[in-house]
Structure 1
């Protein structure tokens, strides 16, 4: 039985993506990763303080808001950044 992918294996041309497109995609990936990580961390803190520690809803909300505020300050783009 012949490999059905063998016919299209030669269609790939290595290195045809523009460097600017690669840089843009990498920057987007990094930005999405860091902001989504902050969101997940805030959610985890909120749920842990609320349910595992048993402190209640308001202390959990305050903890998550404080973590989010510190994270936004720490993760925002710096003015002297190269990109």
Structure 2
């Protein structure tokens, strides 16, 4: 009995596929993931300090800005030498 999917699939030959688009997509995904994670963490921190701790808007804003700046410098892409 013949496999129905045998004609639709071609054997993979290692090293002949251009993966530049996959590499670009993966790099984009990782970049967006780290920046959205930082934004989510800062938003949660801001709301927690403002409402959970009850410190008020100004202290929550200051703490959020400090964490944002530190996070930016820690997450930015390092330049290759």
TM-score (norm 1): 0.76
Deviations 1:44-75 (A, max 9, x none): 00000000000000000001100100000000
Q: Structure 1: any 5+ residue segments left out of the alignment?
A: 1-6
Moved over 2 A (4+): 10-15
Q: Structure 2: any 5+ residue segments left out of the alignment?
A: none
Bigger Rg, structure 1 or 2:
2
CA RMSD of aligned residues (A): 2.3
